[in-house]
Amino acid sequence: MKIEVLGSGCPKCRELERRVKEAVAKARINGDVTHVYDIGEIIERGVISTPALLIDGKVVVSGRVPEVDELVKLLQK
């Protein structure tokens, strides 16, 4: 599973990354969490509002920081 956090590095982006890593551990998901900081690349992926979360290339969250339990559910789909 490819898990990507997209955002410039603002506090909300860093918090989303932290929560995603916590959710991955909690759900015992085998996946790598990466953070894409490059604004050009973020725009190329069609994301307008950050932070955003992509799972296997699909945008599942944009413009907000979900709670860990919601992230666990998204990762288990």
- From first to last of the 77 residues of the chain, give the pLDDT tens digit: 999 999 999 999 999 999 999 999 999 998 899 999 999 999 999 999 999 999 999 999 999 999 999 999 999 98
Nearest to 51 by CA among 19, 8, 21: 8
Domain CATH for 57 = 3.40.30.10
Q: At what angle do helices 68-76 and 11-27 cross, to 10 degrees?
A: 60
Radius of gyration of the chain (CA): 11
- Determine the structural domain holding residue 45 and report its residue range: 2-76
Q: Report the pLDDT value the prediction gives residue 51, as an integer from 0 to 100.
A: 97
CA–CA dist 8, 24 (Å, integer): 22
Q: How far is CA 61 from CA 21, 53, in A?
A: 15, 5
pLDDT value for 31: 84
Domain count, the chain: 1
